[in-house]
Structure 1
Amino acid sequence: MKSSVILPPPGRFCAEDLYLSKRWRRVQFLANEFWQRWKREYLLNLQQRQKWQRQSRNSQINDIVILQDDNSPRNEWKLGKVVEVQPSTDGMVRKLKLLVSDTTFEKGKLHTRATHLERPIHKVVTLIEAN
């Protein structure tokens, strides 16, 4: 004789299931909070704001930067390499031309191509300075 498995009725959950569901939501909430604080506090500290106080290093060709993008989700900000700087009349760099890898997934294959973007200096953060 086979014994049949008795399942709980649909819509009813064990206390452990409710705990895990709440725990998962809490972990996701904390991860999002961490990311928001990291963007707001730490990442902005990497970009030094020296306006009218003292001279700082201008971005140079071959610097490696991260592109700040308010519209893309976390972990999708792109890295770029500075290929051209565009200084203003006062000699300070205001715009950068960047080489960025554009990756797409088409027909089961991963395609990568280089793309050039222009970004204002306040939307990028220098990670590695060129020597």
Structure 2
Amino acid sequence: MKERRYSELDWLRVFLILAVFLHHVFMPFNGDGWHVMNGKSSKLLDDIMVYFEQLRLHTLFFIAGVGSLLLLKKINTRTFIVNKFHRLFVPLIVGMVLIVPPQNYFENINDYKSIIDAYQHLSLTFESNHL
């Protein structure tokens, strides 16, 4: 039996990932006090972003749940959990050790003597920041 492909979910995922990308591009201009801010902010942009924030992440989680359900119909639970561990948890740990300390350093550059000092304080705190 030929497996059905849900292309509408694929296209919705593409659209939403583009929306997430644009959301992060516009964050410095919306006045929310993000990591890096522009001198001037736009109330209209902020209102538009707040509206789409109500839908975007919830819909992405719904699509992830549907994808998980479809995958669980093909593979057993143990394989699914091991796969998700390798694809999600391992990169999260690597990101918390390698990506978050420089982010915190550049956001709070006056709190550290150097980036080496920041790594000594932050590398094993396993702070997820925005990951």
Judging by fraction of residues, say which structure has more strand: 1
Instruction: Give your verdict on TM over 0.5.
Output: no
User: Which has the higher Rg, Structure 1 or Structure 2?
Assistant: 1
Give the TM-score taking structure 2 as reference length: 0.31
